[in-house]
């Protein structure tokens, strides 16, 4: 850390112009935010699945233990293994797992999310072979396996007999102060762009319809001289333009979606949202 403290890189610490001096390095100020969040994802792409198989997060060693000292009534202690709660611990663990199983990940049949592993295959015999490879690599680096979180090999079941369209998820967010000044068309377009960017794993490569009670939203795709907001939003949904169809649905028959997007009101006769119960 202090190797290049003086003018010449090839001179050891404490040597100045041929004279030897003794230097004691003391740091009497708190560290800057040394535990910075690294630019490495702690989760796979959302289109990939998650499952549980491997654990033992605390097997990782700690190199700079002095940064993880704790003071107790019994004295001062240092962590020798990676503790829970450290800001960059999950990122470091994800990087380590991706490095250990780099070959398997590149072959496309292994999915890793921090300390969880999924092994995928078409045949049971092939799955057992791949499981053996994973266990062998885990044992080579002294990684312990928790049988309590292990789930036996089974065939994935696909539900393909659902006759009607159902809800996958509900998403929402508050508008920002600057967005509150948008008109109806811009607000609806903002909602569409935000939803498409929020759910790419459902829409990527698939044809889908956007049903809205704002007929002017079609201008987001067809407008020829967009302003800066529209132009930015057109670029954001560019990859979906060939698969996306915007369908207008009158607000009178759009209550199934319009109602859940509003603040809840009491169903009383004096409420503007009153609906008589049958």
**pLDDT tens column, 69-107:** 778 888 888 777 777 777 777 888 888 899 999 999 999
Element spanning 111, H or E: strand 110-113
pLDDT of residue 39: 54
Regarding whether 140 and 208 lie in a shared domain, the answer is: no
93 falls within a domain: yes
Regarding whether 111 and 207 lie in a shared domain, the answer is: no
- Comparison of pLDDT for 128 and 29, the residue scoring more: 128
Structure tokens at 173: 């967010």
Mean pLDDT of 209-223: 78
For residue range 125-181, what is the model confidence (pLDDT) as tens digits? 898 999 999 999 988 988 888 778 778 777 777 766 666 777 788 888 888 888 888
The whole-angstrom distance between residue 117's C-alpha and the CA centroid of its chain comes to 16
16 falls within a domain: no
32 falls within a domain: no
Element spanning 257, H or E: helix 255-258
pLDDT of residue 53: 36
- pLDDT classification of 38: cutoffs 50, 70, 90: low
Regarding whether 244 and 196 lie in a shared domain, the answer is: yes
Regarding whether 126 and 65 lie in a shared domain, the answer is: yes
Regarding whether 184 and 145 lie in a shared domain, the answer is: no
Regarding whether 188 and 126 lie in a shared domain, the answer is: no
- Comparison of pLDDT for 38 and 195, the residue scoring more: 195
What are the CA-CA distances from residue 74 to residues 70, 71, 77, 207 (Å)?
11, 8, 9, 64
114 falls within a domain: yes
pLDDT of residue 110: 92
Q: Residue 164, class by beta-carbon neighbours within 10 Å (0-12 exposed, 13-18 middle, 19+ buried)?
A: exposed
Regarding whether 129 and 204 lie in a shared domain, the answer is: no
228 falls within a domain: yes
Regarding whether 203 and 135 lie in a shared domain, the answer is: no
Regarding whether 204 and 141 lie in a shared domain, the answer is: no
Range of the domain at 214: 179-260
Structure tokens at 242: 């060939």
pLDDT of residue 37: 54
Distance CA 165, CA 143 (A): 44
pLDDT of residue 3: 37
120 falls within a domain: yes
Structural domains of the chain, count: 2
């Amino acid at each position: 850390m202090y190797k290049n403290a003086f003018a010449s890189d090839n001179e050891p610490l404490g040597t100045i112009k041929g004279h030897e001096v003794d230097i004691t390095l003391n740091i009497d100020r708190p560290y800057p935010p040394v535990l910075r969040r690294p630019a490495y994802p702690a989760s796979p792409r959302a289109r990939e699945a998650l499952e549980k198989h491997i654990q033992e997060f605390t097997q990782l060693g700690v190199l700079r233990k002095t940064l993880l000292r704790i003071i107790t009534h019994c004295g001062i202690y240092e962590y020798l293994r990676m503790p829970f709660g450290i800001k960059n611990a999950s990122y470091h663990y994800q990087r380590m797992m991706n490095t250990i199983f780099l070959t398997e990940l590149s072959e496309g049949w292994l999915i890793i999310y921090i300390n969880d592993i999924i092994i995928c295959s078409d045949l049971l015999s092939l799955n057992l072979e791949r499981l053996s490879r994973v266990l062998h690599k885990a044992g080579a680096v002294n990684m312990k396996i928790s049988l309590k979180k292990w789930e036996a090999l089974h065939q994935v079941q696909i539900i393909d007999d659902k006759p009607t369209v159902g809800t996958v998820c509900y998403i929402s967010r508050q508008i920002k102060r600057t967005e509150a000044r948008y008109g109806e068309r811009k607000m609806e377009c903002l909602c569409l762009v935000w939803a498409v960017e929020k759910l790419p794993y459902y829409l990527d490569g698939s044809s889908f319809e956007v049903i809205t009670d704002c007929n002017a939203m079609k201008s987001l795709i067809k407008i020829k001289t967009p302003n800066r907001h529209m132009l930015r939003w057109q670029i954001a949904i560019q990859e979906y333009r060939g698969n996306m169809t915007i369908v207008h649905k009158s607000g009178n028959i759009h209550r199934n979606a319009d109602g859940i997007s509003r603040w809840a009101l009491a169903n009383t006769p004096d409420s503007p949202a009153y609906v008589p119960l049958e």
